Amino acid sequence: MAITALFALLYAVVFVISVWFLPSNLFGLMFMVVFTLLIILAQYGISPYIIQWIYRIDWIPYEEFAARFPHMTDSLNKVVAYNGIKMPRLGIVHDLNPNAFTFGHTKNNARVVITDGILEYLNEKEQNAVFSHELGHVVHSDFIIMTIVFAIPLVLLTIARWAYYTSLFSGRRRSSNDDANVLYLLLIAVAVLSYISYYLGYLISLMVSRVREYYADQHAAEVLEDPNALSTGLVKIAYGLLVDRDIKVDVKERNRSKVRALRGLGIFDPNTAKGLGIISVTTKGVLSMDAIQAAAAWDLYNPWAKYFQALSTHPLPARRIQRLNEQCEFYGKKPEIDFSQSKEIAEQQAGKTLWDQFLWDIFMKALPTLIFVALLGVTIVTLIRSLVEIPFLDWKIILLMWAIGLYLIGFGSIIKIKYMYKSGFEPKKVVDLVTNVKASPMRSVPAIIEGKIVGRGVPGYYFSDDMYFQDSTGLLYVDYRFGIGIVDMIFALRTVRRIVGQRVRIKGWYRRGPSPYIQVDTIETEEGRRHRNYAKHLRYFWVVLAFIIGLVCLYYWFII
């Protein structure tokens, strides 16, 4: 976002000036801390207006909202009267991405927004539950709380950066003066401790955000006196649901919209839930609990889920539904979403545990890096040994070592690419892919899917190079990201617009983060056009570069 980039540029300029010109003492540090807090306050102050500018929101007067959505209006009136807050501003984004979000400065000037997707896919009770969840963020003052929570790690990061760069400048200027040396060591210590505190603080802030989501879920259950409404709504939003009918969508209206679910206070986190895999429909439009439990098994038992949840602002959907199920007894309700067979389904697919596969995935992901670290370690040991035991350094040994090491890194990268991009493409349905418990970001399922492109990956965002796919069993996020910004932008502007609305055949690799997506190899449209994605091939650039540098090392090894 341009405004964020301008804030970042301003911060960088002031930071450099303060480190270079201000004294390396408490005054310089306090100046940067205060400036950081001012930046945070400025962003807090203008962010609601930026959101209104970026998002194409159709604001609805209360009277019109009450006439169109009396079921949600009842909850709205109840929450406003009970908590003594001002009536929020109400809006709709005309986009079939099923989501809802709230923003503002305080509980008395909140804006609550839902999308057409909420109205399209959810029944009235589920709509009410999602709406009440967002009202929970309002009455709990999460705008202010989360601003403060995320500000603390930023202040710690500022202290760490200030101490680090100040130590660099003071280190260059320091003399034999004992006080200067003590200051230099103190700055280094402050930098290390602050960086550690920053990372811990950031993880804690994410944990607090997830707790706030649980509180908002609990608020929805209290308003409706039924936790099941939000549970089934979450299944449709986070895993997805499609009855036996075509999606009715005005593609032109979808393309005109410019919605992005807000990460902090939306109903779920789009950054950790790329796609809405629709997974649980029988021919009669009835939920298939086996399919839901298979999708939830990934959240509950795949170790990758623990990794993604730790770095997410939102709990994984299955965890939220479990919490809601625990509240059912209080309201005299029987849980409608049952995960009792999820473990058995996971074991049927993957055996007793998925930890062996997870550890192997991590090893393959880090393989080139591990080789590089080992090479660097051997080099350092060789240099130290040459200084201690040998009167001179034999550069031929170093060159040969790096030549061999770079070729090992190249071959390690090839192994990693082969592991991530498997061959053996077979026709699949979305339901087949989403219920695969073993899939991961590294462990792909080569697949061919046929259906229709119904929208962009980021609904209504014209610079989105990704898309949204529908077949007879569900929806799936289509990852077309090439990896080079300008190439992605050109594809988004020139090609995606033409593909939306067409029937397609996609060959690619299905992966699972917290939610499902397919990484494209080839898209063939009904017009006969064929669009190839070369993200896989781009990875070989680093292989070739490693081989070339290794060859240069060998050349100098021969001529020395």
Q: What does the DSSP assignment read for 408-460?
A: HHHHHHHHHHHHHS----EE--HHHHHT-SS--SSS-EEEEEEEEEEEESSTT
Q: Which residue has the higher pLDDT, 264 or 91?
A: 91
> 89-93 and 111-115: which strand pairing?
parallel
| Pair 466, 481: CB distance under 8 Å | yes
| Pair 441, 466: CB distance under 8 Å | no
Q: Within a domain: residue 392?
A: yes
Give SS3 for 514.
coil
Residue 303 and residue 402 in one domain:
no
- Count CB atoms within 10 A of the CB of residue 545: 14
What's the pLDDT band for 281 if we cut at 50, 70, 90?
Answer: very low
Q: What is the CATH number of the domain that holds 84?
A: 3.30.2010.10
Q: How far apart are CA 503 and CA 469, in angstroms?
A: 9
The predicted-structure confidence for 460-483, as pLDDT tens digits, reads as follows 566 667 887 888 777 788 888 877
Residue 247 has pLDDT above 60, yes or no: no
Q: Among 347, 382, 411, give the residue marking a domain's end.
A: 347
Residue 321 and residue 393 in one domain:
no
Residue 375 and residue 262 in one domain:
no
Determine the pLDDT at residue 273: 36
The predicted-structure confidence for 304-356, as pLDDT tens digits, reads as follows 999 999 988 889 989 999 999 999 999 999 998 888 888 888 888 888 889 99
Q: Within a domain: residue 169?
A: no
Q: Within a domain: residue 364?
A: yes
Domains in the chain: how many in total? 2
Q: Within a domain: residue 545?
A: yes
Residue 532 and residue 396 in one domain:
yes
Which domain range does residue 267 map to?
A: 53-142+214-347
- In one-letter notation, the amino acid at residue 227 is P
Q: Which of 165-179, 183-197, 356-370, 422-436 has the highest mean pLDDT?
A: 356-370
Q: Within a domain: residue 514?
A: yes
Q: What is the CATH number of the domain that holds 480?
A: 2.40.50.200
Residue 241 and residue 317 in one domain:
yes
Residue 225 and residue 324 in one domain:
yes
Residue 183 has pLDDT above 70, yes or no: no
Q: Which of 157-161, 359-363, 381-385 has the highest mean pLDDT?
A: 359-363
User: With 0-12 CB in 10 A as exposed, 13-18 as middle and 19+ as buried, what is 317?
Assistant: buried
Residue 406 and residue 469 in one domain:
yes
The pair of structure tokens assigned to 490 is 């050109």
Q: Within a domain: residue 501?
A: yes
Q: How far apart are CA 520 and CA 504, in angstroms?
A: 12
Per the prediction, the chain carries an average pLDDT of 81
Residue 370 and residue 510 in one domain:
yes
Q: What does the DSSP assignment read for 237-285?
A: III----SS-----HHHHHH------TTTBSS-GGG----B---B-TTS
pTM for this prediction: 0.79
Q: Within a domain: residue 163?
A: no
Residue 241 and residue 336 in one domain:
yes
Residue 315 and residue 392 in one domain:
no
Residue 286 has pLDDT above 60, yes or no: no
User: Active site residue: 120, 126, 134, 344, which one?
Assistant: 134
Residue 380 and residue 315 in one domain:
no
The predicted-structure confidence for 32-83, as pLDDT tens digits, reads as follows 788 888 888 888 888 888 878 877 788 999 999 999 999 999 999 999 999 9
The predicted-structure confidence for 509-545, as pLDDT tens digits, reads as follows 999 887 789 999 999 999 889 999 989 999 999 999 9
Q: Within a domain: residue 278?
A: yes
Q: Among 314, 347, 380, give the residue marking a domain's end.
A: 347
Q: How far apart are CA 547 and CA 410, in angstroms?
A: 6
Instruction: Give the H/E segment covering residue 538.
Output: helix 535-538
Residue 412 and residue 464 in one domain:
yes
Determine the pLDDT at residue 470: 81
120 annotated active-site: no
Q: How far apart are CA 321 and CA 296, in angstroms?
A: 10
Q: Among 330, 347, 364, give the residue marking a domain's end.
A: 347
